[in-house]
Amino acid sequence: MKFSSKVQRCGLSPIRKFHPYAEAAKAAGKKVYHLNIGQPDIATPAACFQAVREFAQPVLEYAPSPGIPSLIQAVQGYYDRLGTHLEEGDILITTGGSEALQMVLNCILDEGDEVIVPEPFYPNYSTFVYAAGGEIRPLPTTAEEGYFYADRKRIEALINERTRAILITNPGNPTGVVLTPEQSRMIAEVARDHGLFLIGDEVYREFVYGGEDLASIITYEDMPENIVVIDSVSKRFSACGARIGALISRNKELMNHALKFCQARLSVATLDQVAAAALYTVPADYFAATREEYKRRRDTVVSKLAEIPGVLCKCPEGAFYLMAKLPVDNADDFQMFLLREFDDNGETVMYAPGEPFYGTPGRGVDEIRIAYVINEADLSRAIELLGKGIAAYNAKKK
Amino acid sequence: MKFSSKVQRCGLSPIRKFHPYAEAAKAAGKKVYHLNIGQPDIATPAACFQAVREFAQPVLEYAPSPGIPSLIQAVQGYYDRLGTHLEEGDILITTGGSEALQMVLNCILDEGDEVIVPEPFYPNYSTFVYAAGGEIRPLPTTAEEGYFYADRKRIEALINERTRAILITNPGNPTGVVLTPEQSRMIAEVARDHGLFLIGDEVYREFVYGGEDLASIITYEDMPENIVVIDSVSKRFSACGARIGALISRNKELMNHALKFCQARLSVATLDQVAAAALYTVPADYFAATREEYKRRRDTVVSKLAEIPGVLCKCPEGAFYLMAKLPVDNADDFQMFLLREFDDNGETVMYAPGEPFYGTPGRGVDEIRIAYVINEADLSRAIELLGKGIAAYNAKKK
């Protein structure tokens, strides 16, 4: 049987690659600290479950294809508080941020069209871009520069006649990089000046630790044609399992095209939309408490990493991830070593190896992504294990 | 801004096209009977809502990408009762049957590859096939033959080197056609003999009215490479808003490719999977009662249609739709007439015009699709209105 060339370019999740070895390590009695998965441990606000319990309609019907009115209004209210007003038609509710991104890519990419993406980037972007027939043009960064990418010249050097969009994750996954308002505006102007879409994956918007105001490229009301935002309740409200996202843009033609895909898949899950609408009623102190918790975790990870000789990690400003460059030859081999050969008092650690976050072949082999979504004590111990593991691995290699 | 050629080929939902005119008619005080929408009015089993109310985890986490184990096991149990055993890996839980179909098409279609689909067909198939870069090769049928399509010669005549799959909806939407076991097996053998996938959209499986056993092409265990089933809880349990479907196949390579897409979109909504698993526990008499209700409705619609001079409609055997050929010049114009010019005691009727269900240009202009998902009394009155409307429309045309 023949399979499509696009699916053959896609790969299984690199983040899941070591799952069988982790299971084997656990079966052998080892405790494994997980720094590899971005599933927050923060409790989902009770309003979510309460709304679902109160659902009283006898038939679980299709919702309207663009989303239920109460959720669209809740999203409007949220952006009003951010200082920018969206019309109802500027918002399409989607099955997670993932579906929003798939939709916009299918709306704008033909075979061979290019999307500029700063690397390292979220690996699933590759699957979505390939499935739409497109190509990722990576915008290189370095650990030494703290994964800085907001450079007009470097971005413009990558634009050609096949370029259709710039896709940024801000705050960044996997880097934690947060753009300054000036950097963000500059990238939007590059997009505008070259007739490109700027797609901002802003699902970590609340997770900034330097006292910054919440930022969004959708506030650039002077460039309605170019700006597209991918949004989600997953991280904002620790409700990843709701699969409620949104595609947001003032580009009417784009939204009209995207609506075709919304109608074709009929609707987004009704109960989850009701739950998501309720989530938008949580008071602002919910975010403040969550932010403080993540900030403490970040500080713990960064300070503990600094104690390990040879590790390079500039303190990230947002999201709940960071990239670190390790003094090892290969992060994949090192992960295998940690799971199969290493332990300290019966404990070891998992991270996401860095290479799959890069589009440029050969890059990221000595880097890792850490998700700091577990409690501080466990994080501290996990980084300690990482340090001991590096020493043991390099001793063995000599 | 440039948009992709594929999205430009796709259209907005033809079923929604008359929505603004219906709203205007209602605003003017007219009562509109809806025969145009496939949203069942049957109550969703209480087990669905009960399971959701009992969900007690503090964090609404991502579910595993292939689906939660309890739901996969529930689907396995359901197919065991149908007489065929599926391995866990033969089932991927999807966001509705729609996502399952999108995934399989993306796995098998490159630019210009073809899928044979009997016409009239569910219009969203076009969007899914176009988005995957493919083409629909319609297999023509006629109202006079009751939309019969199970003819080996006619099918084989459409197969060429770009053909990748045959896609059938059985029981049929919009036609209500149900294949006999021999016809179904014959089509599977055509697929096997030509190295094609046979994709069976079987979401209406329970809705057969001739006393037939429940049937599925997945029972053809001797052709594991060719058979793919699109499944869903939407119609089976009147739970359209749950958006829980499944992609089912014993083709290991296909399922491994599809898993890439499952992983890229992370997971299907957690609460809805829990609810769907509970739905599979409803006793068999639930289906018997629902089936009897729909059968009575079908009989009402068919007998009332038979009273209208010039209407052609062979009694359909399944699903809850039928196609009828009307003695009017154009079903679109007639719909506009019904909404804007016609009423009988302040009431009128809506259907889905037939043309968008066809892939061959110019076909279906005098046909309509009727969904019999409202109560018998309303159905009876709606068809009466249709008859009076036809008389009034044709009188006006003279």
pLDDT tens, residue order, chain B (398 aa): 999 999 999 999 877 789 899 999 999 999 999 999 888 889 999 999 999 999 999 999 999 999 999 999 999 999 999 999 999 999 999 999 999 999 999 999 999 999 999 999 999 999 999 999 999 999 999 999 999 999 999 999 999 999 999 999 999 999 999 999 999 999 999 999 999 999 999 999 999 999 999 999 999 999 999 999 999 999 999 999 999 999 999 999 999 999 999 999 999 999 999 999 999 999 988 999 999 999 999 999 999 999 999 999 999 999 999 999 999 999 999 999 999 999 999 999 999 999 999 999 999 999 999 999 999 999 999 999 999 999 999 999 88
Secondary structure letter of residue B344 according to DSSP: B
Burial class (CB in 10 A: 0-12, 13-18, 19+), B55: middle
Place of tokens 């709940």: A320
The token duo for B381 is 């009155």
Give the nearest partner residue to A111 out of B48, B111, B132, using CB atoms: B111
Indicate the average pLDDT of chain A: 96
81-120 of A, contacting B, C-beta below 8 A: 95-96, 98-99, 102, 106-111, 113
Residue type, A368: I
- Chain A, residues 199-218, CB within 8 A of chain B, namely none
CB nearest to A7's CB, from B60, B107, B242: B107
Q: Give yes or no for residue A16 having a pLDDT over 90.
A: no
Q: From the list A131, A225, A266, which residue is nearest B106 (CB)?
A: A131
Residues linked to residue B166 through DSSP beta bridges, in sequence order? B116, B198
Give yes or no for a contact between A49 and A237, defined as CB atoms under 8 angstroms apart: no
Q: Flag if A12 and B256 touch (Cβ within 8 Å).
A: yes
Helices (H), chain A: 5-9, 19-27, 46-53, 69-81, 96-108, 124-131, 152-156, 181-193, 252-264, 270-279, 284-306, 331-340, 376-397
β-strands B367-371, B352-353: how paired?
antiparallel
Q: What amino acid occupies position A63?
A: A
Q: Which residues in chain B have Cβ-Cβ distances shorter than 8 Å to A124?
A: 263-266
The number of beta carbons lying within 10 Å of the beta carbon of residue B392 is 17
Q: What is the pLDDT of residues A256-298, one digit of tens each?
A: 999 999 999 999 999 999 999 999 999 988 999 999 999 999 9
Can you tell me whether residue A198 is helix, strand or coil? strand
- The nearest CA of chain B is from the CA of A390 a distance in Å of 30
Question: Distance (Å, rounded) from C-alpha A236 to C-alpha A203?
Answer: 7
If DSSP codes are grouped into helix, strand and coil, which group holds residue A186?
A: helix
Q: Which pLDDT does position A245 carry in this prediction?
A: 98
Cα gap B352→B368, rounded to integer Å: 6
Report the 10 Å Cβ neighbour count for B224: 14
Looking at the partner chain, which of A7, A44, A55 has a beta carbon nearest the beta carbon of B106? A7
Query: Does the pLDDT of residue A207 top 80, yes or no?
Result: yes
Mutate to test the interface with B, among A2, A5, A7, A17 (most CBs of B within 10 A): A7
Q: Is residue A68 within 8 Å of residue B248, measured between CB atoms? A: no
Of the candidates A217, A92, A68, A268, the one whose C-alpha atom is nearest the C-alpha of residue B244 is: A268
Q: What is the pTM of this model?
A: 0.96
Interchain pair B240, A1: CB under 8 A: no
pLDDT, residue B250, reads 98
**Beta sheet of A227-232, edge-to-edge order:** A91-95, A244-249, A227-232, A197-201, A163-169, A114-118, A135-139
| Mean pLDDT confidence for A322-328 | 98
Q: If you search the block for the tokens 């046909």, which residue do you land on?
A: B367
Chain B CB within 8 Å of residue A19 CB? no
Number of A/B CB contacts below 8 angstroms equals 246
Q: Given CB atoms, is B275 within the 8 Å cutoff of chain A?
A: yes
pLDDT tens readout for residues B281-296 = 999 889 999 999 999 9
How far apart (Å, rounded) are the C-alpha atoms in residues B77 and A366? 46
For residue range A111-162, what is the model confidence (pLDDT) as tens digits? 999 999 999 999 999 999 999 999 999 999 999 999 999 999 999 999 999 9
Position A39 pLDDT exceeds 90: no
What pLDDT does B113 receive? 98
Residue A33: pLDDT band (50, 70, 90) is very high
